[in-house]
Structure 1
Amino acid sequence: MRLRADFWVSAFLRRCAHEGAVAVLRRRGAAEAGAIFVKLDRLDGAAALFGPAPQSEADADGHRLFVRLHDAQWIDPAAAEEKIARQIRYDSDLWLVEVEDRLGRDFLDLID
């Protein structure tokens, strides 16, 4: 069984704070099952955007898995914002968390 989105986001924000990164909730989505997106800003002009992994890559234990939503390792923060705006137009119930970490740590379970 998958953890509710609101619980997952709360735990993620705490983990980021524990690791010394600044993380804020920019958009609250559907509490039970909203899609979660994470923008990572290195504060040096580089950013990354992560979203839910495809269902075909689902973890048998129900853990949330994420994928990078662009080909390059890092993109311009403005390009990340454009991608976020498109996602919001497509899914208004999504969650958006922004992490600021100079080391570029994402704290997510990623698939390749």
Structure 2
Amino acid sequence: MRLRTDIFVSALLRRVFAKGDFAAVEAKGADEAGAVFIRQHFRDGLETLYGPAPQSVFDRETSGERLFERRLTREEPERVRELLERERKFDPDLWVVELEADDLGDIVPLVDERRNPL
């Protein structure tokens, strides 16, 4: 069973604040099952966008977990906004969380790291 989105986002914000970084909800979606997109802001003005991993990467062990994949890496904010606008047309109930953190560490579970652990 997957954790409700509002609870997942709340826990995500707390983990970011605990590291001394900043986070905010840019767009609130459906409380129970909204998709979550994460905008990571860097000091140089560029952004990385993370989105939900495709269903094909889930198996029995990860079926209740939220996994993310990089959609854009260190791009101009306008490009990130354009992609999010396209996603909102497809799914108006999505969440967008903004993070100001240089390193996400273990805050955002990425598909790439699960497939190729260090």
Q: Calculate the TM-score normalised by the size of structure 2.
A: 0.85
CA distance in structure 2 between the aligned counterparts of 1:81 and 1:45, rounded to whole angstroms: 13
Shift of residue 105 of structure 1? 2.5
Q: Give the match's secondary structure for 2:30.
A: coil
Amino acid at match of 1:19: K
CA distance in structure 1 between the aligned counterparts of 2:88 and 2:103, rounded to whole angstroms: 24
1:7-86 → structure 2 map (5 Å cutoff): 7-58=7-58, 60-61=61-62, 62-70=64-72, 73-86=73-86
Amino acid at match of 1:80: V
**Identity among equivalent pairs (%):** 43
Amino acid at match of 2:24: V
Shift of residue 104 of structure 1? 3.9
Number of residue-to-residue matches in the alignment: 109
Q: Give the match's secondary structure for 2:89.
A: helix
**Deviations 1:49-99 (CA, angstroms, capped at 9, x unpaired):** 0110011112524110000113xx311122111111111111100011000
What is the root-mean-square deviation in Å for CA atoms of aligned residues? Answer: 1.4
CA distance in structure 2 between the aligned counterparts of 1:7 and 1:54, rounded to whole angstroms: 21
Q: Give the match's secondary structure for 2:25.
A: strand
Q: Calculate the TM-score normalised by the size of structure 1.
A: 0.89
- Listed as ranges, the gaps of 5+ residues in structure 1 are none
User: Is the Cα–Cα contact under 8 Å of residues 38 and 96 in structure 1 kept in the other structure?
Assistant: yes
